[in-house]
Structure 1
Amino acid sequence: MKTAHSLKRRMLALALCSCALPAAAELPRDLQIERLGPTRIAVVWTGAAAAGEQYRIAVSDRIDAPLPDSVSPVNGASGRIEIEHAAGVRPYVRIEDGEGRESLIGERVLPLEGGINFRDLGGYQTGDGRQVRWGSLFRSGAMDTLTDGDYAYLQRLGIKTICDLRRPRERNAAPTQANRIGQEVEYLSWDYELKFDGDVLKQAFAGGGDPKEAAIRMMSGFYRTMPKEFAPRYRAAFDALKAGDGLLFNCSAGKDRTGLLAALVLTTLGVPQDTVMADYAMSQRVPSLQKLRQRSNDPTGDKAADPTVAAFAKLPPEAVDALMGTDPVYLHSAFDQIRADYGSIDAYIERELGVSPADRIALQGMYLEPAR
């Protein structure tokens, strides 16, 4: 049986040959890794090569693995290849054109058996041509269902600070074992109340009408409150960010409180808004998030006694879809409120999050690298 160590040396090299009309050579515009199962991934690409152009793609579990010498022909500027890969080993894909141009992507959703929406913010391109470093910034939902294997995997990531954005009741119902992620991890949490409970849910849907539209209005209103309400917690996360260590931040679903913080981090680093929105919207496509939805729809144990969870379970499916979704209109609502209150996103980042222009340059130096 192959070990993870041997997989580090085992590479798959592929040549991509375009059948299109002659055009300027370019790397694939969109190269993604999809997790199909514990031991199988798919590499999907579009916009690959000009006619006759050859590219090499290497798949490994190391960021710094070199490209092999051999190549295998694959036709087409777009395609999909399924590859066997060891369970619990995170693959990285490197593509190179032989003329000094290369790109590296990692598996954005970490391969955790019990993880909920646990993702890496690395690899996103900035407006000035750099990209966010892989393996430095992570976002997640609740982590109470992590397995022993998951903890062993996470211990290798070098996470130094965890910012838990949940209120006490959420943390007590689904506790985080920070010491199992790292013996010296700093765990930050706050005691506060959130005006998003069973009574609020009942009131939002009491007037009748389209339950989906009611849910969207409710979520958009909640997002408008978050920039000010969560500013102290977000500021603490940015303080941890300034330390330059591995940072993980989470809430329950890893999509709302976490989603806005991720958007602010990426914006601070210079990632364009359309990319920020795409990262935010990705949550509703992450399969593990369905675990949380099922748990909310059919609560057991302590969760069955939670009035918010009980009210959630009684909602119509279309309302649940909207509440559990990441419609970009939600994040736009938060950004619109920030502009209304502060004049610009940059002003909010400086005034409320304590990130000066000099801090911003320093953060970009810590978390960005030249795009390959």
Structure 2
Amino acid sequence: MSAQEDQNRILALQKGINFRELGGYPTQDGRHLKWHKLLRSGTMNRLTQEDIDYLIDYGLRYDIDLRSEDEAQVSPDKLRNTVVYQLTPVYPFVDQTTGRRFKHRLKHLLGHAKNQPLMGDTYTQMITDSHPQETYRNLFETLLMNDEDNSSVVFHCAAGKDRTGVGAMLVLSALGVDKELIRKDYLLTNVVLGGGDKHAIKAMLTSTGNAQVDQMNAGMGVESSNFDAVFAAIEAESGTVEQYLHDKMKLSDEDLEQLKNLYLE
């Protein structure tokens, strides 16, 4: 693997969807994210043997699957058994999600952001519902386990944009990346998916029979308004992003410092 290939934002895979490196991003304390440590992606059920060999050589050791059990069953990840696989679905939401009580709670949580259009309130629920909170806590637990050099964790959903996007927002925030740079990483999905063969990509996103999941996967882009809603909900829940990481992700000051030691240089 050449030095140039070593530091590409978009990995050179034949059948990867939205497969990206998070290495190289600067943090507010003057450091940078290490390469070969943190990856985000869409579904990995159609990776070629060459793709799999590439990822193993790249250092992939942990695969965090944020999809539903139905999605994982219909389109299982294709990787070697040397990669530790964890299925930790973001869906279903388990708290009150319908009716007037929930709508009232959303308005209360979002405050000044309540007039922003949301994708079916789903982004806000990924922040406020106890089930996805547990899922993202698991992601952080795995990141803390990944303590070897050039050993990568990938977290992914189907298109690698919504559930994965929220996960990236939380992880990059914990590592001290500037909020507007996190927004740019989130919106990079529009470039990656928008520049590909949309029909081919949609064909790879197999229907699961779950209407909510299929609706989320059907869209080929992301919106800045949903990014704003996520951070508005975080701040409404806990006051600051750092406090949310303490309260909901159960990360101590020592955990956050350890994450930075592992993923920054």
User: Which bin holds the TM-score, normalised by the shorter protein?
Assistant: 0.7 to 0.9
**Superposition RMSD in Å:** 2.9
Indicate which of 204, 220, 225 corresponds to 1:329.
225
Residue 177 of structure 1 deviates from its aligned partner by: 2.4
Indicate which of 154, 168, 191 corresponds to 1:262.
168
Conservation of the 8 A alpha-carbon contact between 1:108 and 1:121: yes
Q: Secondary structure at the match of 2:40?
A: strand
Q: Secondary structure at the match of 1:354?
A: coil
Indicate which of 139, 142, 161 corresponds to 1:237.
139
Residue 186 of structure 1 deviates from its aligned partner by: 1.6
Residue 299 of structure 1 deviates from its aligned partner by: 8.5
Per-residue Cα deviation, 1:157-192 (whole angstroms, up to 9, x for no partner): 2222111000011112211123x2xx3322111367
- Please name the residue that 1:306 is paired with: 209
In the alignment, structure 1 segments of 5+ residues that lack a partner are: 1-7, 9-60, 63-89, 93-105, 201-215, 313-319
Q: How does 1:272-311 map to 2 (within 5 A)?
A: 272-287=178-193, 290-291=196-197, 293-294=198-199, 303=207, 306=209, 308=211
- Please name the residue that 1:54 is paired with: none
CA distance in 1: counterparts of 2:194 and 2:48, whole angstroms: 14
- Please name the residue that 2:111 is paired with: none
1:347 aligns with 2:248: no
Per-residue Cα deviation, 1:99-138 (whole angstroms, up to 9, x for no partner): xxxxxxx210000000000000000001111100011000
Conservation of the 8 A alpha-carbon contact between 1:220 and 1:329: no
- Please name the residue that 1:217 is paired with: 117
- Please name the residue that 1:19 is paired with: none
CA distance in 2: counterparts of 1:236 and 1:157, whole angstroms: 23
Conservation of the 8 A alpha-carbon contact between 1:122 and 1:131: yes
Per-residue Cα deviation, 1:316-342 (whole angstroms, up to 9, x for no partner): xxxx6xx33221211111111111111
CA distance in 2: counterparts of 1:272 and 1:354, whole angstroms: 22
Cα gap change, 1:330 to 1:144, in 2 (>3 Å): same
Return the structure number with greater helix share. 2
CA distance in 1: counterparts of 2:66 and 2:170, whole angstroms: 15
Higher CA-based Rg:
1
Q: How many residues align?
A: 237
With structure 2 as the length reference, what TM-score do the two structures score?
0.80
CA distance in 2: counterparts of 1:162 and 1:311, whole angstroms: 22
RCO higher in structure (CA 8 A, sep ≥6)? 2
CA distance in 1: counterparts of 2:39 and 2:52, whole angstroms: 15
In the alignment, structure 2 segments of 5+ residues that lack a partner are: 99-115
Q: Secondary structure at the match of 1:277?
A: helix
Conservation of the 8 A alpha-carbon contact between 2:15 and 2:51: yes
CA distance in 1: counterparts of 2:184 and 2:90, whole angstroms: 30
1:194 aligns with 2:92: yes
CA distance in 1: counterparts of 2:263 and 2:214, whole angstroms: 41
CA distance in 1: counterparts of 2:91 and 2:20, whole angstroms: 27
Conservation of the 8 A alpha-carbon contact between 2:194 and 2:221: no
CA distance in 2: counterparts of 1:346 and 1:324, whole angstroms: 31
